[in-house]
């Protein structure tokens, strides 16, 4: 986080000003992230604790949330889970924990992406732009007659699977088709998103009918099942 701030504001990443909520209890890190985001053309709100994050999110309705994992008052994981019960706003989780399981725990709680500390503010701004572009409004997902809320990552993954029923996808191919060739994903990252989709769509997660596991390959969507 010791980069020299940009001398002049670059052109905004998006055509309309998007609002980003930065949740970070380290004031220097918070200020650096906010500076770079504002230079990139975003409106920025700030919060330093878990409870403040929930309050600001409810009041300001951000288009994306940058959420630190370690927060006073309420952990980032708990904040993420609470937000997911209320909204499908894209969430990028920032964590100093580097193990695969720590990252997957964030994804399982509902985060769309994660950035590991220490990180470049420029990289984080690029991730924000990428996640916002993927979060474009899409058709509603209806299961059992009810609208199912989904994160942008979940929707993009389901969109690819459902558009190609019966096709067996490797995890790498799914990640590239759904999120782009520049998306850095572990195989278990896709597994975490699939687990969340099954939790929302399947009648019995232990025996999934819609999103099936193809052993030795990856996943496929069976449109003829679950009806």
Which helix (H) or strand (E) is 218 found in, with range?
A: strand 218-221
- Full residue range of the structural domain in which residue 196 is found: 142-221
* pLDDT exceeds cutoff 70 at 184: no
What's the number of domains the chain is made of? 2
List Cα–Cα distances, 30 to 23, 119, 147, in angstroms. 8, 13, 36
Of 119, 125, 127, 75, nearest to 98 (Cα)?
Answer: 119
Nearest to 199 by CA among 162, 150, 138, 152: 150
Residue 215, domain CATH: 1.10.10.10
* pLDDT single digits (tens) 40-74: 999 999 999 999 999 999 999 999 999 999 999 99
**198 within some domain:** yes
Average of per-residue pLDDT across 116-120:
88
Q: Which of 134, 157, 183 is the last residue of a domain?
A: 134
- The enclosing domain of 90 has a CATH number of 3.40.50.2300
H-only helix segments in the chain: 27-39, 50-60, 76-84, 100-108, 121-134, 152-163, 171-179, 187-201
State how far the alpha carbon of 149 is from the alpha carbons of 87, 153, 196, 208, 213, in Å.
Answer: 8, 12, 11, 19, 23
Task: Based on the fold, state whether residues 214 and 191 are members of the same structural domain.
Answer: yes
Query: What is the reported pLDDT for 93?
Result: 92
Same domain assignment for residues 98 and 59:
yes
125, 23: one domain: yes
Question: What confidence score (pLDDT) does residue 136 get?
Answer: 64
Confidence category of residue 99, pLDDT binned at 50, 70, 90: confident
pTM above 0.85, yes or no: no
């Amino acid at each position: 986080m010791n980069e020299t701030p940009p001398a002049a504001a670059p052109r905004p990443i998006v055509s309309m000003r998007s609002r980003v909520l930065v949740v970070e209890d380290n004031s220097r890190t918070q200020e650096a992230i906010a500076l770079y985001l504002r230079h990139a053309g975003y409106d920025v709100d700030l919060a330093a604790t878990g409870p403040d994050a929930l309050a600001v999110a409810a009041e300001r309705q951000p288009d994306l949330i940058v959420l630190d994992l370690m927060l006073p008052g309420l952990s980032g994981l708990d904040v993420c889970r609470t937000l997911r019960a209320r909204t499908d706003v894209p969430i990028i989780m920032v964590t100093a924990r580097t193990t695969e399981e720590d990252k997957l725990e964030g994804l399982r709680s509902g985060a769309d992406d994660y950035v590991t500390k220490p990180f470049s503010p420029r990289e984080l701004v690029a991730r924000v732009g990428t996640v916002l572009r993927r979060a474009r409004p899409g058709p509603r997902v209806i299961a059992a007659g009810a609208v199912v809320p989904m994160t942008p990552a979940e929707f993009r993954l389901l969109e690819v699977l459902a558009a190609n029923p019966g096709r067996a996808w490797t995890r790498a191919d799914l990640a590239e088709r759904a999120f782009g060739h520049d998306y850095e994903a572990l195989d278990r990252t896709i597994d975490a998103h699939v687990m969340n989709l099954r939790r929302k769509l399947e009648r019995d997660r232990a025996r999934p009918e819609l999103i099936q596991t193809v052993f030795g390959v990856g996943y496929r969507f069976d449109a003829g099942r679950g009806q």
